[in-house]
Amino acid sequence: MKKTNLIAASICVFVLSSCAINIGNSSKKQQATSPSPKVVQQGAGFFLPDPSEKYVIGTDKSTNLWKKYIDAHNNRDFESLMLMESDSIQIVGPTGNRISGKDQHKEALSAWIDAEDPKWKIYWAMPYKGVSNKEEWIIAGHELTRTVDGKVVKQNHMIDAKMSKDGKVELFYVYSMDVPN
């Protein structure tokens, strides 16, 4: 009788173990073949020319490029500056003035440096990107110090810059606010 109970118990353990192993393997197969749900970034905000576009936080790749770009301005390193911008760069200044292309930018910047010795200090920055068009942007606040007629003048500049697909500065808008003495 004891031998029969032992055999029955062994068979029971074997059957239950087999079932458990089979269920585990079946679950793993199901997980491996079931597609993962696609995560869709929702984003926020809008852009009037493309009302369906939304924006999410970008990467510090754009932040790092922008910091180096501003450093090149402050260091008067035109060679590095030109390497960091696209050939067809577009700049829209605070009064609506426009600069098109590297050559025009270098010429205008050189004249401004000679006349007023501008220096920029970034005090905040946030990279962002379009959810559907994947465009990389950064918006950053800068304190601009320049010398006009022998007097130090400070302004706050908000700059909204677009990065090209190959990681260069392609376009930026400058918004300006005077800082009282």
CA 122/CA 111 separation, integer angstroms: 22
pLDDT digits 0-9 by tens, 136-154 = 999 999 999 999 999 999 9
In this structure, which amino acid lies at residue 84? M
- The answer to whether the beta carbons of residues 163 and 174 sit under 8 Å apart is no
pLDDT digits 0-9 by tens, 15-53 = 444 444 454 554 454 455 567 777 666 899 988 888 889
Q: Is the pLDDT of residue 97 over 70?
A: yes
| First-to-last C-alpha distance (Å) of the chain | 104
- pTM of this prediction? 0.76
Q: 55-178: what fold?
A: Nuclear Transport Factor 2; Chain: A, (3.10.450)
Q: In this structure, what are the phi and psi dihedrals at residue 6, rounded to the nearest 5 degrees?
A: -65, -40
pLDDT digits 0-9 by tens, 106-136 = 999 999 999 999 999 999 999 999 999 999 9
